[in-house]
Amino acid sequence: MSSIKVTGGVRLKGETRIQGSKNAALPVIAASLLNKGVTVLRNCPKILDVYHMINVLEELGCKASWEGNSLVIDTADVKSAKVSESSVRKMRSSILFLGALIGRCHEVSIAYPGGCSIGNRPIDFHLDSIRKMNVSLNEENGIINCQTDKITGTDIFLKFPSVGATQNIILAAVLAEGITRIYNAAREPEVQELCTYLEGAGARLKGKGTSFIEIEGVERLHDVEHTLSPDRIAAGTYMAAVAAAGGDAVLFDVPVHQAEAVIKVLEKTGCKIITGDRHVKISRSKRLLPYDLLKTKPYPGFPTDMQSQLMTVLSIADGKSTIVEEIFDSRFQNAEELRKMGADILLRNEKTAVITGVAKLKGAEVKARDLRAGAAMVIAGLAAEGETTVNDAVIIERGYEDICRDLGNLGANIHYCGDDAG
C-alpha cells in the first residue's frame, strides 16, 4: 500500500496547472455508451476512478485507448448489459452505468456501488426515478436488475437535488420516447458538462445549469469530441494548501466561476486572491482567521468535496470555527487523524464540527480515510512541523493525477513511498 511523506514548514511558491475534472469525466464516460460509435474526450484526467470506468467499458465489450491526454472510446459493440460486482464495488460513480445501459440496451444488471466510506449515500432517488420511466426493477442479493421494452419520458420531481440521480435520469432519457422533465435538478457544473457533451452528440436538452431540465428523446447519437473543464475541487485543494502552508502561488487552468464559493471562504480566512479568466493567484502571509459558520450546500454553495480540506485550514486559524456538513453523514473521519497532529476538533454530532485553531500542527503518521480527507491530510502535513506520513495514499489517486507533482511544483517537500510508512 502506498503512502505519501511530507516535510512541513515550507512556504509554497510557484506555479502549477489544474487537471481535467474527475467529477465531469465519470458521467461523460458512462454517457459514451449511448452513442454506437466513437467519443474523444480531451483533457481527461489519468486517475484511478477514470481507469475503473474504462475497465467497466471494456468488460461490456467497448474499447478505450489514450492519445496523450485524450481518451478515445469506441462503444460500437456492447456485448453485455451486466456490470460485474467487483467493478461496481470499487467506486460509487459506477452507478451511472445504470442510466447509460438502460438507455443503450433497455436492460442492466448492476450491484449497489462502493467507493469512499463517507457514510450512507442511498440511491433511492435513482431507482425511484428510473421506475417512473417505464422500467421494471427488482433487487436480489444486492444486485439491481432493470428491464424495459421502451423508455418513456415523464415528469420527475426530486426531493433533493442529487447530482447522481439527475445524471442517471438524463442518461436514461436521452434515447427515450417523449419528453422527460426533471424538477429540482442538481445544478452542479458536472451536470452541466454532461448535458454539453450530450448536446454535442445530438441530444436535445434544455435548462442545463438550472433546477429544471427538459430532455426530448432522440433516436440516436453521433460521434463527438469533447474537452473536459478543469477540476474545480483540485483547484480548491491546492488553494487550501497555500492557505495552510502560507506562501504565494499561481494556479493555471482554474474554472474560476465554479470555484467562487471556495474563493470567498478562503478570502475571509485572510488569504489574498486575484482571479483572471483561467488562473488564480493566492497568497497568505499572516495567521489565518477563523470562519464562524461554514455549511456545505448543493452548488453554487460551498462544496462538500472541499469540507475536509477547509477543516485542515481552520485547524490552524486564530480562533474558533464551526463546520456543518449538510450533504453527507460520516464525513468528519479526518478529524481523528488531525487530532493525531495536535488539532483541537470537537464533533458535536456526525453533522457538526467545532474547530479551535492551534498555533502549529505536528507531523505524525496518519491515514487517508477517503479521497478528500486524504488530500486534507497532505495539506496538514504541509502546514505541520516535522514529517508526516499519509498512509493508504492510493485513495488519493482516485481523484488527483499526481498530487506530489502538483504540490512539488509549488515547492512542497513531498514524495510517494511504496509501502505504508516506508
Residue whose C-alpha is closest to residue 18's, from 208, 173, 234: 234
Q: Distance between CA 262 and CA 256 in Å, rounded?
A: 10
CA distances from 192 to 72, 121, 234, 316 (A): 21, 22, 18, 36
| Catalytic annotation present for 195 | no
| Rounded-to-integer distance, Cα 91 and Cα 51, Å | 11
Fill in the DSSP letter of residue 20.
B
Q: How many CA atoms lie within 13 A of 263 on its CB side?
A: 20
| HSE-up of residue 141 (Cα within 13 Å, Cβ side) | 2
The secondary structure element, H or E, covering residue 258 is: none
The catalytically annotated residue of 44, 116, 146, 404 is: 116
The answer to whether 153 touches 177, Cβ cutoff 8 Å, is: yes
CB 29, CB 50: distance < 8 Å: yes
Q: Do 308 and 375 contact (CB within 8 A), yes or no?
A: yes
Contacts of 26 (CB under 8 A, 6+ apart): 49, 50, 53, 93, 96
Cell numbers describing residue 352: 457538526
Q: Which grid cell sits at 138?
A: 427488482
> Which amino acid, one-letter code, is at 302?
F
Kindly give, in sequence order, each residue whose CB lies less than 8 Å from that of residue 25, ignoring residues fewer than 6 positions away. Answer: 41, 44, 45, 49, 50, 53, 228
List active site positions.
Answer: 116
